[in-house]
A and B are shown apart, each in its own frame.
Chain A
Amino acid sequence: MKKLLCIKVLFLITYTLSYAKTITVCPDCKISSIKKALQIAENGDTILIKKGIYKEGNIVVKKSVKLIGEGYPVIDGQKKYEVITVKANNVVVKGLVIQNSGKSDIEDLAGIKFFKTKNCRIEDCILRNNFWGIYFAASKNGVIKNNKVFGPAKLEYLKSAFGTRIETNFGNGIHLWHCKNMLVESNHVKNHRDGIYFEFVKNSTIINNISEKNLRYGLHFMFSHKDNYINNIFRNNGAGVAVMYTKFVYMANNRFEYNWGMASYGLLLKEIYDSYIYHNVIYKNTTGIFADNTNRTVIKENDFLENGWALRIWGNSQNNIFKHNNFIANTFNVATNSFENPNTYTENYWSDYKGYDLNGDGIGDVPYRPVSLFGYFTENYPLSLVLTRSFFIYLLDYTERNFPMIIPSKLMDKRPLMRRYEWSR
Chain B
Amino acid sequence: MSIKLLKYEFFNMYRNKWIIFYFIFFLVLTTALFYFAKSPAKVVATLLQLIILVIPLTSLILGTIFMYDSRNFIELLLSLPIKRSSIYISKYLGTTISLSISFALGVIIPYLFFIKSLEEPPEYFLYFSLVIAGIFLTFIFVAFAFLIATFFEDRVKGFGSSILVWLYTTLIYDGIILFIIIYFKDYPLEKPVLLMSILNPIDIARIFVILKLDIAALLGYTGAVFQKFFDTKLGISVSFGVLFVWIFFPLIVGLYKFRKKDF
Direct contact of A and B (CB under 8 A): yes
Binding site for B on A (CB under 8 A): 260-262, 264, 284-287, 305-309, 328-329, 331-332, 351, 377-378, 380-395, 420
A188 to chain B, nearest CB (A): 23
Docked pose: A391 CA to B189 CA in angstroms: 22
Q: Are B193 and A390 in contact, with the CB atoms below 8 A? A: no
The 4 lowest CB-CB distance pairs between A and B, nearest first, are A308-B217, A329-B41, A331-B217, A392-B174
User: B52 within 8 Å of A by Cβ?
Assistant: yes
Mark each residue of chain B from 217 to 245: 1 if its CB lies under 8 Å from any CB of chain A, else 0.
11111110010000000000000000000
Q: Which residues of B contact A (CB under 8 A)?
A: 37-39, 41-42, 45, 48-49, 52-53, 170-172, 174-175, 177-178, 181-182, 185, 189-190, 193-194, 197, 203, 206-207, 209-210, 213-223, 226
Residues of chain A within 8 A (CB-CB) of B226 are 386
Contact for B218 among A285, A385, A393, CB less than 8 A: A385
Contacts A384-B178, A387-B174, A390-B203 given; indicate if A308 touches B189 (C-beta within 8 A).
Answer: no
Contact among B178, B221, B223 for A387, CB-based, below 8 A:
B178
A306 CA to B172 CA, complexed, in Å: 28
| Interface SS, B side | helix
**Which residues of A sit under 8 angstroms from B194, Cβ to Cβ?**
386
A387 touches B177 (CB 8 A): yes
**20 additional contacts, CB 8 Å, given A385-B218, A389-B209?**
A260-B215, A261-B219, A286-B219, A286-B220, A306-B41, A306-B213, A307-B216, A308-B214, A308-B218, A351-B42, A383-B190, A383-B223, A384-B181, A386-B193, A386-B207, A387-B178, A389-B49, A389-B213, A389-B214, A420-B38
Report which residue of B170, B217, B226 has the largest number of chain A beta carbons within 10 angstroms of its beta carbon. Answer: B217
Which A residues lie within 8 Å of B42 (CB)?
328-329, 351
Residues in chain B near residue A308, CB distance under 8 A? 214, 216-220
Q: What are 27 A-B interface contacts by the 8 Å CB criterion? A: A260-B215, A261-B219, A264-B219, A264-B220, A285-B216, A305-B39, A307-B216, A308-B217, A308-B220, A328-B41, A329-B39, A351-B39, A351-B42, A377-B182, A385-B217, A385-B218, A386-B193, A389-B210, A390-B52, A390-B203, A391-B52, A391-B170, A391-B171, A392-B170, A392-B178, A394-B49, A395-B171
Q: How far is the CB of B17 from chain A (nearest CB, A)?
A: 27
Task: State how many angstroms separate the Cβ of B134 from the closest Cβ of chain A.
Answer: 14
Interchain CA distance A257-B44 in the complex, whole Å = 20
Q: How far is the CB of A244 from chain B (nearest CB, A)?
A: 21
Q: Which residue of B lies closest to A394 (CB)?
A: B49
Docked-complex contact B216 and A331, CB < 8 angstroms? yes
B217 touches A388 (CB 8 A): yes
* Cross-interface CB contact of A331 among B182, B185, B206, B214, cutoff 8 Å: B214
**Closest beta carbon of chain B to A326's beta carbon, Å:** 9
Contact A260 B216 (CB under 8 A): yes
A286 to B216, CA, bound (A): 4
Q: How far is the CA of A382 from the CA of B49 in the complex (A)?
A: 22
Q: How far is the CB of A175 from the nearest CB of chain B, in Å?
A: 29
Across the interface, which residues of B come within 8 angstroms of A264, CB to CB?
219-220
Task: Report whether A392 and B216 are in contact in the complex, using a CB–CB cutoff of 8 Å.
Answer: no
Alpha-carbon distance A286/B210, docked complex (angstroms): 14
A381 CA / B194 CA spacing, docked (Å): 15
Output the residue of B42, B52, B219 with the most chain A CB within 10 A. B219
Whole-angstrom CA separation of A351 from B36 in the bound complex: 11
Question: Which residues of the other chain, A, contact B223 by a CB distance below 8 angstroms?
Answer: 383
CB within 8 A of A284: which of B182, B207, B216, B222?
B216
Q: Pick the contact of B48: A306, A385, A389 (CB < 8 A).
A: A389
* Contact call B45/A328, Cβ cutoff below 8 A: no
* A380 to B197 CA separation, bound complex (whole angstroms): 20
Q: Which of B37, B178, B182, B217 contacts A309 (CB 8 A)?
A: B217
Q: Are A391 and B45 in contact (CB under 8 A)?
A: no
| A contact residues around B215 at 8 Å (CB) | 260
| Chain A residues within an 8 Å CB radius of B185 | 380-381
Which of chain B's residues have a CB closer than 8 A to the CB of A309?
217, 220
**Measured between C-beta atoms, what is the minimum distance from A41 to chain B in Å?**
53
- Which residues of chain A have C-beta atoms less than 8 A from B213's C-beta? 306, 389
Q: With A329-B45, A383-B193, A392-B178 in contact, is A351–B37 under 8 Å at CB?
A: yes
Residues of B within 8 Å of A382, CB to CB, are 221-222
Cβ-defined contact, A328 with B39, below 8 A: yes
Nearest B residue to A331, CB-CB: B217
Q: Is the CB of B214 within 8 A of A388?
A: yes
The smallest C-beta distance from A330 to any residue of chain B, in angstroms, reads 8
Among residues of B, the one whose C-beta sits closest to the C-beta of A381 is B181
Contacts of B177 in A (CB 8 A): 386-387
Contact (Cβ within 8 A) A383 B221: yes
Minimal beta-carbon separation of A382 from chain B (angstroms): 5
CB distance from A259 to the nearest CB of B (A): 9
CA distance A307 to B39 in the complex (A): 13
Nearest CB of chain A from residue B231's CB, rounded to whole Å? 13
Residues of B within 8 A of A260 (CB): 215-216, 219
Taking a contact as CB atoms closer than 8 A, the residue among B193, B210, B220 that contacts A262 in the complex is B220
A389 to B206 CA separation, bound complex (whole angstroms): 7
Bound Cα distance from A382 to B219, whole angstroms: 11
B170 surroundings in chain A (CB, below 8 A): 390-392
Which of these, B53, B181, B216, B220, contacts A306 with CB under 8 Å?
B216
A393 vs B177: C-alpha distance when bound (angstroms): 11
Chain A residues whose C-beta falls within 8 Å of the C-beta of B38 in the assembled complex: 420
In Å, the complex CA distance between A389 and B47 comes to 11
Q: Is the CB of A391 within 8 A of B39?
A: no
CA A385 to CA B221, docked complex, whole Å: 8
Docked CA distance A338–B129 (Å)? 38
Residues of B within 8 A of A332 (CB): 217
Q: What is the CA–CA distance of A380 and B185 in the complex, to the nearest angstrom?
A: 9
Question: For the complex, what is the distance from the CA of A261 to the CA of B227, rounded to whole Å?
Answer: 12
Whether A377 pairs with B217 at a CB distance below 8 angstroms is no
